[in-house]
Amino acid sequence: MWSALGQDDPSDQVPGGHVQTTRLGLGILAATALLVTACGAPGTPATERSADATTIDAPLTKEDVAKLGDVTLRVWADSGDKATLDHYVPRFEKDFPNVDVQVTIKSFDDLTKTVVNAMNGDNPPDVAQGNQGYQVDGALVQAGLVRPLDDVAEAYGWADDFEGYPLDQFRWNDKGTQWGSGKLYGISPVTQYIGVFHNERLLDKAGVRPPKTYEELEASLPKIAASGTTPIEFGNSDKQASMHLFGALAGRCQAADDVNDWVAGVKGTSFVDDCNRSAAGTLRDWVKKGYVSSGYDGVTMDDAAVRFAKGSAAYYIGGDWLAQQISPHGKQFGFTVPTGANDKRVITGGSGMGWHISAKSKSTEAAAAFIAGLHEADYAQALVDQVRVPIVEADVKAEDPLLDDDLVAARALLDDNGQTAYLDWSTDTMYDEFGSRLQELLAGRIGPDEFLRAVQENWSAFQETKTS
């Protein structure tokens, strides 16, 4: 019988929320230096440091896992996945009756601050969620604490079901200093992304139809304002929402691969370009014209979503996961990702927090089977029932019309391969730098060019630390 251990308060994490880079007090290189002495020399592949050389070459059966004997599988998970695990673990234990799953649920902040040290301990979790970017996943890879999953991916055909960015965001070089290519170290069954919520009643009042393109969205703003309605609700007290809004605007003229290359630190890429300059200028212009709700620096992202749900504005541009806060307020809401250049959808997004297998686990087959089951097409509907958006293409349906809009938009975005990495994944300090500079831009204290230069300088400085 499975058990949940050490549960923290899950109320601070909405399932599917933006997995931001969190400052942990130490840069990635300094942090992992404390770990590699126990795990091997930097750059040694994790498989070479693992005590378990098990290779998975086919989907695991009940008989394969039964050969392990009675197994206690220790799992660390984010509180946003609690409902999913409440449903999934009993099903898994029924399919693999020799496995007793013990789940430890942690808040996002606690998990990201403790999982690296936990995986470095003498008795680490067999399976744990990390966090994309350098602070957590990069540290886990650099210290050799997690096992590559390339063999599991091949055995289960993940390259077909999760092609491109859904897997690339979990790829790292062996040193953990470059992500986006290399070996696969994690995977998530769900996606999350930024989009445009609209209130159909307020759009009707302004004589506006729900926008399908960025051009239509921009053209609607003065009409909505003229009708006496605030066009866009906005809350930016934690700086996160402004990055989401910027990423949406930049998506109208960007290629997703170009953005992802920059976030991954590919040499020769730059944040200083005409598209980002245009997005910065447009965002500042929207604030000046009153298209964005006032007092936004004193309002949280979640509170802004609730305000929108209560009729404060015609649009809310934010994470699809906020549908859970908006939907209970009525059936007048819709959700979409507008198309931009070349009729493609390009917008900030990513997979949920990735699942990793400990390089020290003695129960690799059970751990791989546990992760694989979450990613099967026949589990996709169960994810939808837990208000998650599965990446794998499957015949799924949501009872909630707003979630159904979310599913349709997600499939279109994935088909366009249009998700761009959260910009703060680019360095270990970019969350603070990007958010603070955007606040200055919106307040008119700096201009678009100064904003772009500051972001690029932070990026360039971080690239130097990776090679020094």
CATH class given for the domain over 62-190+352-395: alpha beta
Question: Token digits for 268?
Answer: 């020769």
**pLDDT over 70 at 268, yes or no:** yes
Report, at the CATH architecture level, how domain 192-351+407-467 is classified: 3-Layer(aba) Sandwich (3.40)
Mean pLDDT of 238-248: 93
pLDDT of residue 3: 56
**pLDDT over 70 at 31, yes or no:** no
pLDDT of residue 23: 32
Extract long-range pairs of 445-453: CB within 8 Å, 24+ residues apart: 447/284, 448/277, 448/280, 448/281, 448/284, 449/272, 449/277, 451/280, 452/271, 452/272, 452/276, 452/277, 452/280, 453/272
Do 62-190+352-395 and 192-351+407-467 show the same overall fold? Answer: yes
Question: Token digits for 101?
Answer: 């799953």
**pLDDT over 60 at 406, yes or no:** yes
Mean pLDDT of 398-410: 95
Question: Token digits for 12?
Answer: 């601070």
Separation in Å, CA 181 to CA 124, 165, 168, 270: 26, 10, 6, 19
The pLDDT tens digits of the residues spanning 73-84 come to 999 999 999 999
Question: Token digits for 149?
Answer: 């999953």
The pLDDT tens digits of the residues spanning 291-334 come to 999 999 999 999 999 999 999 999 999 999 999 899 999 999 99
Domain ranges of the chain: 62-190+352-395, 192-351+407-467
Q: Where are the beta strands (DSSP E) in 31-154?
A: 71-78, 99-106, 127-129
Buried b vs exposed e over 192-225: b needs ≥16 C-beta within 10 Å?
Answer: bbbbbbbbbebbeebebebbeebeebbebbeebb
